[in-house]
């Protein structure tokens, strides 16, 4: 089975060629409630390991076929940092990738391992998941293998964010009734307050989950976004099924909404009715609303706030 897939066009990361480091079966140190793969007991080590030579040979031929890529995304049916030859693999990818960026999508569990920590420092972009900051909730939602501790993970994410010179993204996935209560948001806020990252993507379930759990509506995600520290670069990831009833917003309400939390065009399409979108456009034309770009995503906010917003 080929370990290379794509390219796929991702709004967040651009044209992406994927490498699946566990192509034939799920091998993960979590067994998340919301996983789109079938449930499988969480394990600490890969037992089905693809040789580095095979991956590099497949990648070389894919790069010849698809020369116009933005990113090579290292992922897995499971957790890619469990791949035992990751450090060597990244060095060899660096040797052939040219200007293409490297990205890894990790659940963060192994980041407290110094070898993994140092390996991930070599990448151009890293996306780390953090679904909960309270130990009981972490265990409930991510169902980690024995011995994985959320306190150590949070500590490692913060340390990593201060060492890493590439683009760092944090992703939080919300599950209804599991990690969406006020005390959960407060704990996540505290965990992320000193993390230096380019974006914090918050989203919900968008594919059939491994266990019978439900996602949130766009409106609920939006309400959660408002409960985070306004200095954090929160971005709501729009999901196809996430529904919201577009509402009517006056000029002042539009400005106040954007003042609390910069929004993307997708967010506004979900929130604002047609008349409000016309008012939004007028405010843009008058220069009262401006936009900033954060790692391929355009956010709108009151023009006066642009200088105030934190960037990495």
Is the bond into 73 cis (omega within 30 degrees of 0)? no
63 near ligand SF4, judged by CB under 6 A: no
**What gap in Å lies between CA 20 and CA 2, rounded to an integer?**
8
Q: How far is the CB of 189 from ligand SF4 (least distance, A)?
A: 22
35 near ligand SF4, judged by CB under 6 A: yes
Q: Name the β-bridge partners of 234.
A: 200
Stretch that binds ligand SF4, among 32-40, 61-69, 230-238, 256-264 (CB under 6 A): 32-40
28 near ligand SF4, judged by CB under 6 A: yes
Which one among 50, 55, 62, 79 touches ligand SF4, defined by CB under 6 A? Answer: 79
Stretch that binds ligand SF4, among 31-39, 81-89, 232-240, 244-252 (CB under 6 A): 31-39
32 near ligand SF4, judged by CB under 6 A: yes
Nearer to ligand SF4, 16 or 29 (CB): 29
Instruction: Build a one-symbol-per-residue string for 82-121: x at contacts with ligand SF4 by CB under 6 A, - elsewhere.
Output: -------------------------x--------------
Q: How far is the CB of 165 from ligand SF4 (least distance, A)?
A: 26
Which one among 3, 6, 21, 31 touches ligand SF4, defined by CB under 6 A? Answer: 31
Nearer to ligand SF4, 30 or 272 (CB): 30
Q: How far is the CB of 35 from ligand SF4 (least distance, A)?
A: 3
175 near ligand SF4, judged by CB under 6 A: no
Write out the residues near ligand SF4 by the rule CB under 6 A.
28, 30-32, 35, 37, 78-79, 107
């Amino acid at each position: 089975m080929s370990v290379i897939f794509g390219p796929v066009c991702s709004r967040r990361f651009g044209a992406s060629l994927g490498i699946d480091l566990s192509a034939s079966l799920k091998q993960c140190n979590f067994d998340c409630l919301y996983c789109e793969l079938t449930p499988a007991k969480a394990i600490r080590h890969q037992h089905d390991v693809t040789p580095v030579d095979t991956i590099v040979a497949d990648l070389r031929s894919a790069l010849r076929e698809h020369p116009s890529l933005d990113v090579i995304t290292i992922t897995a049916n499971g957790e890619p940092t469990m791949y035992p030859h990751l450090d060597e693999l990244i060095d060899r990818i660096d040797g052939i990738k040219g200007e293409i960026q490297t990205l890894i999508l990790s659940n963060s569990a192994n980041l407290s391992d110094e070898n993994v920590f140092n390996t991930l420092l070599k990448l151009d972009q890293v996306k780390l998941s953090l679904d909960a900051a309270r130990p009981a909730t972490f265990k409930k939602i991510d169902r980690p293998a024995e011995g994985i501790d959320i306190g150590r993970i949070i500590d490692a994410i913060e340390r990593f964010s201060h060492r890493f010179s590439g683009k760092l993204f944090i992703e939080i996935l919300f599950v209804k009734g599991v990690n969406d209560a006020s005390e959960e948001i407060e704990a996540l806020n505290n965990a992320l307050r000193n993390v230096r990252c380019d974006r914090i993507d918050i989203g919900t379930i968008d594919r059939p989950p491994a266990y019978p759990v439900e996602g949130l509506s766009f409106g609920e995600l939006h309400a959660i976004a408002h409960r985070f520290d306004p200095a954090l670069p929160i971005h709501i990831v729009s999901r196809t099924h996430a529904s919201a009833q577009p509402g009517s917003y006056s000029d002042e309400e539009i400005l106040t909404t954007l003042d609390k939390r910069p929004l993307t065009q997708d967010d506004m399409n979900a929130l604002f009715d047609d008349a409000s979108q016309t008012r939004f456009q007028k405010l843009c034309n008058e220069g009262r609303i401006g936009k900033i770009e954060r790692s391929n995503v355009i956010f709108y906010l009151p023009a006066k706030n642009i200088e105030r917003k934190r960037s990495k």
